[in-house]
Chain A
Amino acid sequence: MMTERSVETEPTKGAFAVEVKSLHKWFGAFHVLADINLNVRHGERVVICGPSGSGKSTLIRCVNALEDYQRGEIVVDGVVLTKNLKRVDEVRREVGMVFQQFNLFPHLTVLENCTLAPMHVRKMPKAEAEATARRLLARVKIPEQADKYPAQLSGGQQQRVAIARALCMNPRIMMFDEPTSALDPEMIKEVLDVMVELAEEGMTMLVVTHEMGFARQVADRVVFMDGGQIIEIDTPDAFFSNPQHERTKLFLSQIIR
């Protein structure tokens, strides 16, 4: 169902949005990712969960080359990630990333945060970039904050700006690295609501999160990682109601109260 939708929207370069093939990564001698195989279809929403230190953030950071890897292959939208910087930038333009700590640029206004990359990377004229930014800020429900600086916003608002900033590049894939983990409880919902809307519009999403409610609601598949390996991949229904692996069961029993 999801794949059909993506076929309707845009012609795609690769068969999969993201292909990860027997990926291995070491931090020094520490084997942080071991034999990762994961294909994400266009328009698919994949939630990656697992205990801290399981390598889930490292995995998605490999997908836009914020981390390098030693063995295996990652193909993003038909582009093989190599050491070639041009290709890396090509991939990064198409992959939006939202960080746990927002990482907004504090010396720029909200609007400038959103227009910087489109203007300097996509060479979009300023007026067009600003129009796009204002439209997307409205979409994340903070159009009135455009001229403020990040420090003036609440955490939830900052994270929504970060989402808008990523969307301004018109990415084909959006990745979220624990987007709500640094937020106060009352702000988590406003960010998740934006993410749910984004999912409903058919965006390909790769989300590392502990929000199991979100996973249940929007994920097409849930990936469970532990110790640098993928332990289990399943649809949310099956994953939550009938986990197969012992470690998955243990994790779910601890996380769901």
Chain B
Amino acid sequence: MSRTPLVAMSEDDARYVREAPAPALAPPITNVGVLGWMKANLFSSWPNVFLTAATIALLAWIVPPTVRFLLIDAVWSGTDRTACLAPEGGDAGACWAFVRERMSYFIYGSYPVGERWRVNLFFALVALGGGWMLWLDAPYRRLGAVFFFAAVPIASYVLLYGWPTIGLATVDTSLWGGVLVTVVVTTVGIVTSLPIGIVLALGRRSDMPIVRLMSVVFIEFVRGVPLITVLFMASVMLPLFVPPAWSPDKLLRALIGVMLFAAAYQAEVVRAGLEAIPRGQYEAGRALGLGYWRLHRLIVLPQALRITIPNIVNSFIALFKDTTLVFVAGIFDFLRTIEVSRADPKWATPVTSATGYAFAAIVYFVCCYLMARYADSVERRLARADRR
């Protein structure tokens, strides 16, 4: 198989034997370190150069005034509005003095001052139980589950609402407010919406037409109505039709509204996960003699929930922010307490509203971001198990 080369090669080019190993050289400075990273990530192409420049310009435009407002020009202490008025010839910064003075109202609402230790204890119980559940390698997780799903709710009810026979004075829910209400509504919503959602999702896929129909009707109806409408009906319309004596507590009505609303969304999320499980998994389970509930509990749901974790957490984050809508039912959640406070003449300044909203935004952002990060870590943990 001799072929004539297109270009005649000299004897030297055609044969080569290496006599010494090639030395290992340092890479060019533009390939490594900060310069290399910038070249690869910020200036790899002309569009990228443009985006980098645009981003820097945007940040330069936004960041300095924000920092100046929130930190540099901010007023950290004071007793009333005069502290937060703009100094002569200067700009007014955030009025943190206002937030500081109102902080206890933001946390407890109108909960009687002398009883606020009960709220603190409630926060501690929720944090302990929630942490126990969220820490996946925690010891005694079964005990933790009993604690969180049985002991904490009962203890919370007794603590927050009161039980005169054991010396805890009744505190009407109309006095509850602030972070307390937000935590109550969010926790109840998260803890109840997933199980109810699972049941609804299974119902929607049931072989029994009545069960299926009822699930579909419920899900589609609740999904088709804005949450604000559900809450409005619960708070305003229900009392018109139901005698006052029968009418349940205002907060409880809102809780149920949020719970059912979140459950309907969660049902669709879970259903998406159920649809993704191959038929063979059901058949293998059934062939082993597993009944409907065991099949779902042991085989189908563990796989379905695992693949829907990002969506479930997404719903939880949406739910957390939606709790702000309970104000239409006349309930003073965290955001509402800020709303009310910013209208207080004692603190009326041009920056009070902006400060209040900035504070709310920071708190909500931190909470949502933590939820997202936690979900991320769980996902990565499961992905590690999947790679196996």
Q: By the criterion CB–CB under 8 Å, are A92 and B306 in contact?
A: no
Q: By the criterion CB–CB under 8 Å, are A107 and B306 in contact?
A: yes
Q: By the criterion CB–CB under 8 Å, are A103 and B284 in contact?
A: yes
Partner pick for A85 among B278, B287, B291, CB 8 A cutoff: B291
A52 vs B159: C-alpha distance when bound (angstroms) = 68
Q: By the criterion CB–CB under 8 Å, are B287 and A66 in contact?
A: yes
A85 vs B299: C-alpha distance when bound (angstroms) = 19
Nearest to A150 among chain B residues (CB) is B388
Contacts of B284 in A (CB 8 A): 97, 99, 103-105, 162
Q: By the criterion CB–CB under 8 Å, are B287 and A120 in contact?
A: no
A106 vs B306: C-alpha distance when bound (angstroms) = 12
Contacts of B294 in A (CB 8 A): 120-121
A29 vs B337: C-alpha distance when bound (angstroms) = 66
Q: Is A196 at the interface (CB under 8 A from chain B)?
A: no
The SS class assigned to the B binding surface is helix
**Would you give the 0/1 interface string for B372-388, flagging 1 where the beta carbon is closer than 8 Å to chain A?**
00000000000001101
Nearest to B382 among chain A residues (CB) is A107
Nearest to B291 among chain A residues (CB) is A89
Nearest to B306 among chain A residues (CB) is A107
Least Cβ–Cβ distance between A88 and chain B, in angstroms: 9
Q: Is A101 at the interface (CB under 8 A from chain B)?
A: yes
Contacts of A92 in B (CB 8 A): 286-289
Contacts of A162 in B (CB 8 A): 284
Least Cβ–Cβ distance between B178 and chain A, in angstroms: 42
Interface residues of A in 61-106 (CB under 8 A from B): 64, 66, 85, 89, 92-93, 95-97, 99, 101, 103-106
Q: By the criterion CB–CB under 8 Å, are A93 and B302 in contact?
A: no
A/B pair count, beta carbons within 8 Å: 62
Partner pick for A151 among B280, B285, B298, B386, CB 8 A cutoff: B386
Partner pick for A106 among B285, B286, B287, B303, CB 8 A cutoff: B303
Q: By the criterion CB–CB under 8 Å, are A116 and B288 in contact?
A: yes
Q: Is A148 at the interface (CB under 8 A from chain B)?
A: yes
Q: By the criterion CB–CB under 8 Å, are B298 and A103 in contact?
A: no
Least Cβ–Cβ distance between B280 and chain A, in angstroms: 4
- Given that A103-B283, A116-B298, A151-B386 are known contacts, is A121 also in contact with B288, CB under 8 Å in the complex? yes
A120 vs B386: C-alpha distance when bound (angstroms) = 24
Choose among B298, B306, B386 the residue with the greatest number of A CB atoms under 10 Å from its CB: B298
Nearest to B283 among chain A residues (CB) is A66
- Given that A120-B298, A148-B388 are known contacts, is A103 also in contact with B289, CB under 8 Å in the complex? no
Q: By the criterion CB–CB under 8 Å, are B290 and A117 in contact?
A: yes
Contacts of A93 in B (CB 8 A): 289
Number of interface residues of B (CB under 8 A): 21
Contacts of A154 in B (CB 8 A): none
Q: By the criterion CB–CB under 8 Å, are A99 and B283 in contact?
A: yes
Contacts of B302 in A (CB 8 A): 107
Least Cβ–Cβ distance between B48 and chain A, in angstroms: 38
Least Cβ–Cβ distance between A87 and chain B, in angstroms: 12
Least Cβ–Cβ distance between B26 and chain A, in angstroms: 41
Q: Is A205 at the interface (CB under 8 A from chain B)?
A: no
Q: By the criterion CB–CB under 8 Å, are A120 and B280 in contact?
A: no
- Given that A116-B298, A149-B388 are known contacts, is A169 also in contact with B283, CB under 8 Å in the complex? no
Q: By the criterion CB–CB under 8 Å, are B289 and A169 in contact?
A: yes
Q: Is A152 at the interface (CB under 8 A from chain B)?
A: yes
Interface residues of B in 278-319 (CB under 8 A from A): 278, 280-281, 283-291, 294, 298-299, 302-303, 306
Least Cβ–Cβ distance between A127 and chain B, in angstroms: 19
- Given that A107-B303, A116-B298 are known contacts, is A99 also in contact with B289, CB under 8 Å in the complex? no
Q: By the criterion CB–CB under 8 Å, are A151 and B306 in contact?
A: no
A64 vs B386: C-alpha distance when bound (angstroms) = 32
Interface residues of A in 47-69 (CB under 8 A from B): 64, 66
Choose among A96, A107, A151 the residue with the greatest number of B CB atoms under 10 Å from its CB: A107
Interface residues of A in 150-171 (CB under 8 A from B): 151-152, 162, 165-166, 169
A96 vs B284: C-alpha distance when bound (angstroms) = 10
A99 vs B287: C-alpha distance when bound (angstroms) = 10
Least Cβ–Cβ distance between A60 and chain B, in angstroms: 11
Q: By the criterion CB–CB under 8 Å, are B290 and A121 in contact?
A: yes
Partner pick for A105 among B281, B286, B385, CB 8 A cutoff: B281
- Given that A99-B283, A105-B281, A148-B388 are known contacts, is A169 also in contact with B303, CB under 8 Å in the complex? no
Nearest to A109 among chain B residues (CB) is B388
Partner pick for B288 among A85, A101, A117, CB 8 A cutoff: A117
Q: By the criterion CB–CB under 8 Å, are B290 and A66 in contact?
A: no
Q: By the criterion CB–CB under 8 Å, are A89 and B289 in contact?
A: yes
A117 vs B278: C-alpha distance when bound (angstroms) = 19
Contacts of B290 in A (CB 8 A): 117, 120-121
A106 vs B289: C-alpha distance when bound (angstroms) = 18
Nearest to B294 among chain A residues (CB) is A120
A135 vs B289: C-alpha distance when bound (angstroms) = 21
A93 vs B285: C-alpha distance when bound (angstroms) = 11
Nearest to A121 among chain B residues (CB) is B289
Q: By the criterion CB–CB under 8 Å, are A105 and B289 in contact?
A: no
Q: Mark A residues whose CB is within 8 Å of B.
A: 64, 66, 85, 89, 92-93, 95-97, 99, 101, 103-107, 116-117, 120-121, 148-149, 151-152, 162, 165-166, 169
Q: Mark B residues whose CB is within 8 Å of A.
A: 278, 280-281, 283-291, 294, 298-299, 302-303, 306, 385-386, 388
Closest 8 A/B residue pairs (Cβ): A103-B284, A117-B288, A103-B280, A97-B287, A93-B289, A92-B289, A121-B289, A149-B388
Beyond A85-B291, A105-B303, A106-B303, 7 extra complex contacts between A and B, CB < 8 Å: A92-B286, A99-B284, A103-B284, A148-B388, A152-B388, A165-B288, A169-B288
